[in-house]
Structure 1
């Protein structure tokens, strides 16, 4: 016989709109959400405060994010603050179906996301969130904001601000702002130090290789790993690959980053030079056509290619498709392309984010900081949005430092503070050698 709690959950699930793969996965999803919550103490502390103060009361938030256990805990935090939250996936392959089901069944959060959904379904889910007439948008890649600005402009009147999680989305938003097309202020979460120094570097570095290993079971030690891009994601990925015993080659278009990679102990070179030498190629640039036809043609037999940038356009997959004489699925998340002459190139996760396609994405402990920035930035926007122009803003330093302070506190770490003498010295100019 069903318990009262189970009956209540069933009633809420029936009343909560959404489009998920299988509601029977909800219990497993809730267990994993709760497990992730154990490693998100900063967000948990914010949730406890939000539950008391209700700073987001009566707000409607449309979020287009990767539907993972960590995202679920962010949604719970916004909900605790009084917001009505609507969630859709920001990548067709990144959704964790059990998490999506749990959000609907156990937390009453309308969720529209199915792992492996086609292009049409992906955008229909974004439309479902926009139709909620949100006051705040929360994006990861700028797809939701773009649809709202191009095809669903009537819903712009209800929005007063937004946030953007990733570098790719921030780039798109800054282009919109430069063209005077952006209709509300957006905070670039990615630009927070407590986001890109940790999430991008340590999160991407670990989770990308996790995705590669789950998809291929390859041995990294002794292999040559080619990393396209040496931003914070590329830096973290290079360090993890080197730590596992790989020879690391880095390709860049920025001379400063290329020089930095060389000084950090990696081989800086062009993709043309790296193509015939690499065993594993990973793109993390945020740009398109980084690995092209001529690079695929130069690769050795059995080369593995994947992407950990936001969109699958970093790899010129249409050219690879045209070059192939045959294609087959070698194993889950691995497609084998056989080229003329018999050479094989293996594409992982359809060229989409491999850390989320075949693995679970970043560890909860690092997403704790990124999503704490999201929650606190939304709270900030409820108070300050009217004073902001339609532009892209960095996370206020007071929020960035508060997230770092809370994270250190959760780790049991105490640091020094400036003495009055030191404060006076830093503010003076007369004292020299």
Structure 2
């Protein structure tokens, strides 16, 4: 018993010593990140705070109609202890229409208000402060996942540089300043966090092994899948975390499909590269399936509350199209992934020919599917042209959003990265 107690005590001392050594190695990075966070929060809050609070509560809002509608939802939550479902003011004097704004942003404001209330005197003032400070807080907090992505990709110095550039970026400041009480800053924080988890999932996937030796034999499939799941637990855990992050984005912003499509575009490009290199695509296909299915299951209770699963026209309804269209896009990409995985050993010319024929048949039999799906998000239409935020920026605005030098250095960095990738490919 004494030896067991001594061993436990020794283990705790070693763990404590390991933490101290980690702090000694990384104290400078921690100080830098805290300093960058303070700088980011200060420049987002300093100039607007006095103006916003000058006349007392309710504080002044600077985010346009979106901010005031968010305030309406938050006030409803405080008064009724539930989310605003059907809003009688939407369509007035006709019967009210559903409030289609995802609930996470507004409820995070209420939670923040409860946390601040003991320090500011009352819940009303706490919620008001939580509301006007939210964009600045989440905007400043985004430097941390940016640092992690930069660190994992290029090293600590690059991560710190990326975090600092984001902190002072004009484009990010525009949507992350306090009083701009909208979901933009929170959504971007969650999207960047999801991309970090996705990157870590890819890094943890085991190498170039062909897990299933023969897709025509059931016993080989069972053995290969069992070995894959046993050897890639950490990678699949990161995939699940990616799915949770994407689901959180979707509960904050209906436009989460852009994040989904970015990941799926990378997925399809990787499938093409793997096919040319004769590598197994099972790992990334399973990871994509796990992350996307978790995301769509997490958001189903909200997006499915109007019966989207029972409507024949999947592109109609106040919320249905925001769920079903990304789901259809994911299922299509996943189907391509499964196809490339099971046809791994076929010549790429034959695989691509079969896929091309199937694609032609699909779009010939259902030509409106791609137009209907893409028209909701990615193809300009008359409704799209009326939304100011959806318009493409002028080139000068695009350059100045991150800074002239930063903009052109980023293109130089992309060229350098391509050069390194080509060198690795040759080796």
Give TM-score scaled by structure 1 length: 0.23
Q: Answer with 1 or 2: which has the greater Rg.
A: 2
**TM score, norm. by length of structure 2:** 0.23
User: With CA pairs under 8 Å and 6+ residues apart, which has the higher RCO, 1 or 2?
Assistant: 1
Report the structure, 1 or 2, having the larger helix content: 2
More strand by share: 1
